Amino acid sequence: MKETTLVGNGTLITLGEKNRVIKNGAVLIEGNVIKDLGITAELRKRHKIDQFIDATGKVIMPGMINTHMHLYSTFARGVALKDEPPSNFVEILERLWWRLDKALTQDDVYYSALIPLMDCIKSGATTIVDHHASPFACGGSLDSIAKALRETGIRGCLCYETSDRDGPDVAKAGIEENERFIRLCQRERNELISGTFGLHASLTLSDETLAKCAEVAKKLGVGFHVHVAEDKADVDNSLKKYKKRVVERLNDLGILGPKTIAAHCVHVDAHEMDILERTGTNVVHNPESNMGNAVGCAPVIEMIGKGITVGLGTDGFTSNMFAELRVANILHKLIKGDPRVGYGEVLKMCFVNNPKIAQNFFSRPLGRLSPGAYADLILVDYLPPTPLSADNFLGHLLFGISNAVVDTTIVNGKVLMQNRKLVGLDEAAIAQKSSELASKLWERF
């Protein structure tokens, strides 16, 4: 018999297709799966309980999902650039990210993953889809991140950022790292760790390399995780070299489809949106990063209106998905000049489409509290000061729950944090070692 844990006495928010709000609610966990939910007293009567977690004064809800993340960006925090501050997106790539990723060692990869994964636990993100780059520590780099996932307990899908920017040997190594790791995941069938095929962006990938990637991915039965038209420079490059817009080019080369994540899509036109919809390609919106890089605002309202599956990610800007959804809501009101915009779209991106996108990589349902789904849930310190129902949940989420403290995080049935204390992780020691490694990396930067 698998051990059972009852998380009860809280305000239960199920999300999923039929969102329910249950007062004095409870979730029964059996192993790594949700077995039952309902009123706490009723579940106590129906089931044998091995462990009880008291959620009095707390909201019980599914963990947050981040569908575009860059764990390796950690060591950029506080780094001093060697040149003038970048004035555009290409300069940001050249002066910061492409220098940082070249300097990473395997130890750096591991520790730069541990730090944001601990932040995920503390901010209630239980699943991430990560996109990694370390061109001179490529082989085995996804294993280093997988090790960090196992030690923290976060659920994650990993890929390596294939690119031609560092030469053909590095591009070949990127393809091989993706293929090796995907095959490993397919053999092991680990419910916490999976793999997909990573690509940087159209502007650093030749037709030849993309064709090779498409061939390998087709053989493996996977899609891609690729940056698409994040900045106008990507579009200009594609038009100049290939006489096609970015989405058109990627589609012609077999990159798009229902298993592919097209991150950003800031500079796409109506025709490209039609291609994304027709191919079933998933788009991930990253508003904070797009604002920080001054690349623009993706037309996600129009995309959702066309039936495109648009999720929400952070692009490594933060680990906090609550912060990201607040910004997404406000940004589109400002861009559209319409205070009615944002509410429904943000809810759909975060709590309908993110689980749908993540479902491509894992065998059980995510992002909802229902029997048979993964036991990924969080407890948030929140006492509703006004009536809380399934109909007005988003208002409470945006203006109350998202500003509250995550008290407990459970992933795959395992408690990763309780009473705001990480379980089994020495945060101070990890941060100290990370700082030592970052200091050495900054010397090489």
- pLDDT at residue 83, as a whole number: 87
Rounded Cα distance, 69 and 125, in Å: 11
pLDDT for the residue numbered 388: 95
Contacts of 54 (CB under 8 A, 6+ apart): 8, 9
| Residue 386 pLDDT > 80 | yes
Q: How far apart are CA 154 and CA 152, in angstroms?
A: 6
Q: Position 35: which residue type?
A: K
Query: First-to-last CA distance in the chain?
Result: 53
pLDDT tens readout for residues 320-378: 999 999 999 999 999 999 999 988 899 999 999 999 999 999 999 999 999 999 999 99
**Residues in the chain, total:** 445
The DSSP 8-state label assigned to residue 86 in this structure reads: P
CA 420 and chain centroid, separation: 22
pLDDT at residue 174, rounded to an integer: 98
* Torsions phi, psi for 163 (to 5 deg): -155, 150
The encoded tokens of residue 311 equal 């999720």
- In degrees and rounded to multiples of 5, residue 254 shows phi and psi of 80, 25
For residue 22, pLDDT beyond 90? yes
What mean pLDDT do residues 141-161 have?
98
Pairing label, strands 51-54, 33-39: unpaired
- pLDDT digit string, tens, across residues 265-317: 999 999 999 999 999 999 999 999 999 999 999 999 999 999 999 999 999 99
To the nearest whole percent, how much of the chain has pLDDT over 70? 100
Q: What's the pLDDT at 82?
A: 85
Residues 65, 70, 72, 73, Cα dihedral to 10°: -110
> Tell me, what's the pLDDT at 71?
98
Strands (E) located in 44-106: 51-54, 58-62, 64-69
Tell me the C-alpha distance between 425 and 427, whole Å.
6
Q: Across the beta sheet with 197-201, what order do the strands follow?
A: 197-201, 224-228, 261-264, 282-285, 310-312
CB-based contacts of 185: which residues, under 8 Å, 6+ apart?
193, 194, 195
- The HSE-up count of residue 364 (CA atoms within 13 Å, CB side) is 22
DSSP 243-306: SS-HHHHHHHTT--STT-EEEE--S--HHHHHHHHHHT-EEEE-HHHHHHTT-----HHHHHHT
Give me the residues paired with residue 36 across strands.
28
Whether residue 31 is predicted with pLDDT greater than 90 in this model: the reply is yes
DSSP structure string for 139-208: TTHHHHHHHHHHHH--EEEE-B-B-STT-HHHHHHHHHHHHHHHHHHHHH--SSEEE-EEEEEGGG--HH
CA distance 236 to 241: 9
pLDDT score for 1: 74
Question: Angle at the Cα of 61 (from 284 to 423), degrees rounded to 5?
Answer: 95
* Domains by residue range for the chain, with CATH: 4-63+364-420 (2.30.40.10), 64-358 (3.20.20.140)
Cβ neighbourhood burial of 184 (10 Å; 0-12, 13-18, 19+):
middle
pLDDT at 318 over 90: yes
Residue with tokens 């999902």: 65
**Residue range 134-151: average pLDDT?**
98
Per-residue model confidence as pLDDT tens digits over 47-97: 999 999 999 999 999 999 999 999 999 999 999 998 899 999 999 999 999
Residue pLDDT, tens place only, 157-188 = 999 999 999 999 999 999 999 999 999 999 99
pLDDT reading at 429 higher than 90: yes
Which pTM does this prediction carry? 0.97
DSSP lists the bridge partners of residue 264 as 228
For the segment 87-109, what is each residue's pLDDT rounded down to a tens digit? 999 999 999 999 999 999 999 99
Query: Residues 6 or more apart from 312 whose CB is under 8 A from it?
Result: 66, 67, 284, 285, 286, 321, 324, 325, 328, 346, 349, 350, 353, 354
- What are the counts of helices (DSSP H) followed by strands (DSSP E) for the chain? 17, 18
Residue 238 has pLDDT above 90, yes or no: yes
- Model pLDDT for residues 261-276, shown as the tens digit of each residue: 999 999 999 999 999 9
Q: For residue 239, is pLDDT > 80?
A: yes
Q: What is the pLDDT of residue 343?
A: 85
Query: Percent of the chain, pLDDT > 90?
Result: 96
Per-residue three-class SS string for 310-343 = EEECCCCCCCCHHHHHHHHHHHHHHHHCCCCCCH
pLDDT of residue 145 exceeding 80: yes
